[in-house]
Structure 1
Amino acid sequence: MSARHFINDPTLLVNSALESLTLTNPSVALDAENKIVYKRPSHGPSKVSIISGGGSGHEPSFGAFVGDGLLSAAVAGTIFASPSAEQIRRAITSRVDTNKGVLVTVMNYTGDVLNFGMAVEKAKADGLNVEMVIVGDDVGVGRERGGKVGRRGIAGTVLVHKIAGALAAQGRSLEEVYKVAKLTAANLVSVGASLDHVHVPGRAVGSNAAESLQEGEVEIGMGIHNEAGSGRKKVNLPELVGTMLSQLLDQNDKDRAFLNVNSNEIVLVVNNLGGVSVLELGGITTEVVKQLKSSWGIQPVRILSGTYMTSLNGLGFSISLLNVVNTDIGGPSMIQLLDYPCEATGWSAPIQKTTWEEKNTATRENGAGPDHSIKQSGLKANGASFNDALASGLRAIIAAEPEVTRYDTVVGDGDCGIGLKRGAEAVLSHLKEKPATGDVVVDLARIVTIVENAMDGTSGALFAIFLNALVHSLRTLAPGEASPQIWAAALKQSCDALSRYTPARPGDRTLIDALYPFVEVLGKTGDLKKAAEASKQAAEDTKGMKPSLGRAVYVGGTGFEQVPDPGAWGLASFFLGLAGIKSDDDSWETI
């Protein structure tokens, strides 16, 4: 692992690299504050916009894929870290054309999915037409180890971008672009391998010898952030390629048989993880193509070999296979879309002479900020009653903080209670300054912004996604009176939205265990107190429940047998307060 760099300041490195994209492609601009690379506006007809992004360190993904015929914008985080939901929201709402809709693509990593998902739901709550595709193409970690999290997204993702971008450039609808992007993602498999881990500029060199690979040893299935794969082995290149192709294609490997390659047309991508010489990558590509034909009878119709998605200067490569299938949209095939011209420096297509000579200096004006005016919905409730009930629930969270903190100290890192209290106090302060108006969509939308700013971590992202989805759902049910039935229907839709971004379900020992029973009972009975009591019982039932997700999975021990899930307990406390039920020590009683 090389720890020597020309630029050792990671902030300077990312910012200057993003700036370089505007120097090498005059059709793109940079929102430096939010790390958004985007296409400069033109006078052409509106088309579907495509947005992607993720942590920096994977260049040329994603910023260098912004250009005509490919991405409309890309949002960058710090090295190997997801961009924030606010960065992504600004990209969606203010840096691309939204007239024909927006497709957001994201690789399957928890932080990326949650932050991009939060931004998508917020955009939907604002009335924009947005769809999201999550790409998980890696087979390096099989079904058993991947569990509910599923497959990681790696280099095959660039084919989703290229095909969807070409279709959007041809003026097709968001429904069609979304369908073909999902179809492409569903027909992709990839796997990587590396001779060493990489060093992130600005970080201390690790002293853990177990992280380093021995001379001649290869990490098979290594991810693009130094994550472990299926194992380490001393192999030569032919043996390594043979193992990787088996993981991609062997239908007898039930742990990894994610795709039955049954098409006469296969696209191959051999991707440089950043540190392999062009000469050596050529030799690797030849070996892959030879073995595909001799061992599997596959002759790819397109072979892409180059640097598409890196792991900084990772000394490795990945292999991706796309099973070309019929798009069923009465238009271009996947191969035609792959061949379609584009102007993006990360793709092997030159910038056209006319683009340079146009000297386009236009920029897209920054859109509405987080405190923008929110449209009235006509969904009404008594403002004073809304204020009082919500304040009661928030005070219940604050009162429960010591309990939640104690539980989280046993099974987590001890910050759950403080995070919930911080969010509750921020919303209470907001309600004092800006009491409810009586339009529940407006009132809730204002609160969502407070939650997003006051709460961080996974819980904060989950709450923000859920509340943004709730705003969107309530708006679709307006106008009228915000009855218990309306709230229950909107809450059910919000649960469905949240389920698209997290695999957590009842029984996994998370705050979901307290949420779903509340929604279900409210929908059946219309009785807030019964719903709150059901939530409390479900939270109590998490005591002894083995965790499937969250930090508790890694903590180990038997603490989960002694205390309920902290997040579920905190949420149940809120619902009880909302319903006018209070706690005296460990016993609950109706006021």
Structure 2
Amino acid sequence: MSAKHFLNDPTHLVNTALLSIPLTNPAVSCDLANKIIYRKPNGASQVSVISGGGSGHEPSFASFVGNGLLSGAVAGTIFASPSAEQVRRCILHRVEKDKGVLVVVMNYTGDVLNFGMAVEKARASGIDVDMIVVGDDAGVGREKGGKLTVLEGIAGTVLVQKIAGALAAKGASLKEVADVARLIAENTVSIGSSLSHVHVPGRSVVEAGDDELKEGETEIGMGIHNEAGSERKTTDLPGLVTTMLAHCLDTSDKDRNFSDMSSQDEVVLLVNNLGGVSVLELGGITNEVVEQLAKNYKIHPVRVLAGTFMTSLNGLGFSISLLKIQDTGLGPGKTTLELLDAPAEASGWSAAIATDTWKRQGESTKNEEEGGVDEIQSSNLQLDCAFAKSALTTALDRLVKAEPEITNYDTIVGDGDCGIGLKRGADAILKLLEKMKKTDDAVVFLQNIIQVVEVTMDGTSGALYAIFLNALAHGLRQQSPKSPEQITAEIWGKALESSLQALNKYTPAQPGDRTLIDALHPFVTTLCQTGDIQAATQAADEGSKRTRGMKASLGRTVYVGGDGWQGVPDPGAYGLAELLLGLSEGFKK
């Protein structure tokens, strides 16, 4: 790997790279504080399409912002998801919202959770927003991947972004744009390969060991974040392309075949440079792929895109993406190929910036206030504020007392931060309850708590709680009557059920996977069935206890060796159960 860089400070590198984008495209602006690139208002009302992810994949995603493509992009640090707060500010304060917002992300846990939390936050505030998760990587088979890595998102994502952005620019509705984006995502398959791992600027240089690829050796299925691939081979380019295409197109491989493309289909081919392949060599690779598609599969691509679309820093590798053309159902001018061919005024795409757009260079942009406070919309669902504060205080006090035990469990099966994170959030909510103004509005009461959770709780558990609570607020608002009425157990149950369904969109965790879902799911289902908080809490406690000895399917516990995990419950499930047991105690007072 090459460990030499002109810019070795990763923070300075990301910031200056973002600042360069408006210099090459005067149609966009940079919100550096939140690492957002967004399109300047152009007088046309349309659905906004936003995307993003870790830095290091340039020109994705920030250089795809422009007329005819993305409305906004949110960047994280190198190979790390941006925070939910960054994404929330992009949706609420940086793009048009009148016709709705579509969020397109790759299928990585951090991206799905943080973008998902922001989506639920925006939806809870009344914005019409949808989210597409793209998983096109055929590099890891179903059996080996399980719930952890199968169908992650790689370069095929850019086809979804381009077509969705072009359709939005033609004035289509949010539903039409989202439906077509899903259609493209479902019919796209990709695979990558590399000759070497990459070095992230700012990290220490480690001498190459057994993990580094040997001369002539290729890693197949290497992830876009430089993750290890599924296999290594010593082969030449024709042999490598043969293997890659087989993983995408061989219908006899039931473990790996994720598509059903044939010679009867119209197919788009995208050959993507991971950053370190010369233009000359990428041309040779593209020719080999096209020849093998014709020879071995009788597939003649109707479009061939070759270039640098989604990199892994200076990764010495490439990826192949294949899109099976489907009818959008929207008629002339809005077919898949017409949308793919439509001009895009984005510096990272192949279309050039128009002369008229250059005239906008130096044009001032709207000066929006940083970190504006979101207005909390009221509802007609009423609760007893004093009782709610008392019951919640009892629950949070119990959770705080349980922190040492939760931390101990998480030290055995995780990285030891679960209890501390839960306590941090509980302490912050307790402080809020002490000074919070009296409100009888159930949604307003909940939204105040959500704001604290989003600021004080981080990590995976923080994102899960924030997504669930935002979805809960949305579920309550959906049931708000025309005139003030007292909230009931039935209303709570329906809202909790809908928020559990929303959470399922962002995590594959189910009961039996040894996660907090083992406590949350029985609580929600029991409350919906009985309306009895005591019975629901008991079900959550029993679900938490069942995680003792349960083999994990998700999370860090999957990688923990030894037998220590068998004697302790899942920390997340245990912490949630303690909170709910405290809530049950509060209801008895």
Amino acid at match of 2:461: S
C-alpha contact 1:90 1:367 (8 A) present in aligned 2 = no
Looking at structure 1, the residues matched to 438 and 251 of structure 2 have their Cα atoms a distance apart, in angstroms, of 58
In structure 2, the residue matched to 1:491 is 496
Kindly provide the amino acid, as one letter, of the partner of residue 261 in structure 1: M
**225-234 vs 30-39, which moves further:** 225-234
Q: How big is the shift at 1:409?
A: 2.0
Give 3-state SS (helix, strand or coil) of 1:37's partner: strand
1:135 matched to which residue of 2? 134
* Closer/same/farther in 2, CA of residues 105 and 291 from structure 1, 3 Å limit: same
Secondary structure of the 2:200 match is: coil
Corresponding residue for 1:566?
571
Spell out, residue by residue over 1:20-70, the C-alpha distance to the aligned partner (whole angstroms, 9 max, x if none): 1100001000001001001001222x1000000000000000011000100
1:206 Cα deviation from its structure 2 partner: 2.4
Q: Secondary structure at the match of 1:349?
A: coil
Residue of structure 2 in register with 1:541 after alignment: 546
- Give the TM-score of the pair, scaled to structure 2: 0.97
Q: Deviations over 1:507-566 (max 9, x none)?
A: 111100100111111111111111111111111111111111111111122223211111
Question: In the TM superposition, what is the alpha-carbon distance from 1:130 to its structure 2 partner?
Answer: 0.3
Match of 1:21 in 2: 21
Matches within 5 A, 1:445-460: 445-460=447-462
Matched letter for residue 422 of structure 1: R
Structure 1 vs Structure 2 CA RMSD: 1.4
Structure 1 residue 330, shift from structure 2 partner: 3.5
CA–CA distance in 1 between the matches of 2:323 and 2:188?
5
Work out whether residues 47 and 96 of structure 2, in 8 Å CA contact, stay in contact via their aligned partners in 1.
yes
Report whether the alignment pairs 1:575 with 2:580: yes
2:242 is aligned with 1:237: no
Q: Who is 1:587 aligned against?
A: none
Residue 401 of structure 1 and its aligned partner are, at CA, apart by: 1.2
Match of 1:81 in 2: 80
Q: What CA distance in whole angstroms lies between the structure 2 residues aligned with 1:211 and 1:504? A: 31
Q: Distance in 2 between matches of 1:98 and 1:211?
A: 47
Distance 1:464 1:83 in 2: 15
| Residues 89 and 367 of structure 1: CA distance in aligned 2, closer, same or farther (over 3 Å) | farther
Q: Which amino acid is 1:222 matched to?
A: M
1:18-97 superposed matches below 5 A:
18-44=18-44, 46-97=45-96
**What is the identity, as a one-letter code, of the residue corresponding to 2:583?**
L
Name the SS of the counterpart of 1:33 in structure 2. helix
Q: 2:105·2:111 contact (CA, 8 Å) conserved in 1?
A: yes
Which residue does the alignment assign to 1:385?
Answer: 387
Q: What is the 5 A alignment of 1:265-414?
A: 265-331=266-332, 332-359=334-361, 361-366=363-368, 369=371, 371-414=373-416
For 1:536, the aligned partner's letter is D
Q: Measure how far apart 1:208 and its partner are.
A: 5.8
Amino acid at match of 2:582: G
Asked if structure 2 preserves the Cα contact closer than 8 Å seen for 1:49 and 1:98, the reply is yes
- Distance of 1:393 and 1:402 partners within structure 2: 16
Q: Please report how far the alpha carbon of residue 368 of structure 1 lies from its aligned counterpart in structure 2 after TM superposition.
A: 8.0
| Corresponding position of 2:524 | 519
What is the CA–CA distance in structure 2 between the aligned matches of 1:207 and 1:421, rounded to whole Å? Answer: 41
Whole-Å separation in 2 of the counterparts to 1:181 and 1:29: 25
Letter matched to residue 213 of structure 1: L
Aligned to 2:7: 7
Determine the C-alpha separation between the residues in 1 that align with 2:373 and 2:96: 21
Structure 1 residue 406, shift from structure 2 partner: 2.0
CA contact (8 A) 1:133 1:178 kept: yes
Greater shift, 573-582 or 434-443, is seen at 573-582
Give distance in 2, aligned partners of 1:514 and 1:358.
Answer: 55
Aligned partners of 2:391 and 2:586 also within 8 Å: no
How far apart, in 1, do the equivalents of 2:415 and 2:344 lie?
47
SS at match of 2:210: helix
Displacement of 1:357? 2.1
CA 1:358–1:570: 2 relative to 1, 3 Å: closer
What does residue 501 of structure 1 align with? 506
Higher deviation after alignment, 324-333 or 308-317: 324-333
Q: Deviations over 1:423-476 (max 9, x none)?
A: 101100111011551211111111111111111111111111111111111111
Q: Aligned partners of 2:344 and 2:369: how far apart in 1?
A: 27
Listed as ranges, the matches of 1:210-225 within 5 Å are 210-225=210-225
**Structure 1 position 359, deviation (Å):** 4.1
Checking the alignment, whether the CA contact within 8 Å between 1:93 and 1:367 is kept in structure 2 is no
Q: Is the 8 A contact 2:270 2:322 kept in 1?
A: yes
Partners in 2 of 1:436 and 1:144 — Cα distance? Answer: 53
How far off its partner does 1:422 sit?
1.1
The 1-side partners of 2:409 and 2:10 are apart by: 37
Equivalent position SS for 1:428 = helix
* Partner residue, 1:586: none
- The Cα of 1:581 is off from its aligned counterpart by 6.9
Per-residue CA shift, 1:228-277, capped at 9, x if unaligned? 11211111111111111111110011111101014531000010000000
* Aligned CA distance change for structure 1 residues 205 and 449 (closer, same or farther; 3 Å): same
- Judge conservation of contact 2:453–2:462 (CA < 8 Å) in 1: yes
The question of whether the paired residues in 2 share the 8 Å contact of 1:272 and 1:281 is answered with: yes
The whole-number CA distance in structure 2 between the counterparts of 1:435 and 1:395 is: 21
Using the size of structure 1 for normalisation, the TM-score is 0.96
Structure 2 residue aligned with 1:423, among 422, 425, 432? Answer: 425
Q: What is the CA–CA distance in structure 2 between the aligned matches of 1:417 and 1:447, rounded to whole Å? A: 19
Alpha-carbon distance, 1:297 to partner: 0.4
Q: Counterpart of 1:123?
A: 122
Matched, 1:99 2:98: yes
User: Does the 8 Å contact 1:180/1:327 carry over to 2?
Assistant: yes
Q: Which amino acid aligns with 2:265?
A: N
Contact 2:394 2:586 in 1 (8 A): no
CA contact (8 A) 2:390 2:586 kept: no
The farther-off stretch of 220-229 and 353-362 is 353-362
- More off after superposition, 466-475 vs 369-378: 369-378
CA deviation after TM superposition for structure 1 residue 362, in Å:
4.1
Contact 1:40/1:362 (8 A) holds in 2: no
Contact 1:137/1:151 (8 A) holds in 2: yes
Return the letter of the residue paired with 1:97: E
Distance in structure 2 (CA, Å) of the matches to 1:88 and 1:207:
37
Task: Indicate how the Cα distance of structure 1 residues 368 and 495 shifts in structure 2: closer, same or farther if over 3 A, else same.
Answer: farther
Matches of 2:185 and 2:453, distance apart in 1: 33
Q: State the percentage of identical aligned residues.
A: 61
Question: 5+ residue gaps in structure 2?
Answer: none
CA distance in 1, matches of 2:437, 2:430: 10
Q: SS of the counterpart of 1:413?
A: coil
Residue of structure 2 in register with 1:255 after alignment:
255
> How far apart are 1:210 and its partner, in Å?
2.6
Q: CA deviation at 1:378?
A: 1.6
Partner Cα distance (2:336, 2:525) in 1: 43
Question: Structure 1 runs of 4+ off > 6 angstroms?
Answer: none
Q: Is the 8 A contact 1:518 1:532 kept in 2?
A: yes
Does the CA contact (< 8 Å) of 2:135 and 2:152 recur in 1? yes
In structure 2, distance between residues paired with 1:177 and 1:133: 10
Aligned pair count reads 583
Q: Aligned AA for 2:545?
A: E
Aligned to 2:473: 471
Is 1:551 equivalent to 2:553 in the alignment?
no
| C-alpha separation in 1, matches of 2:49 and 2:43 | 18
Shift of 1:370: 6.3
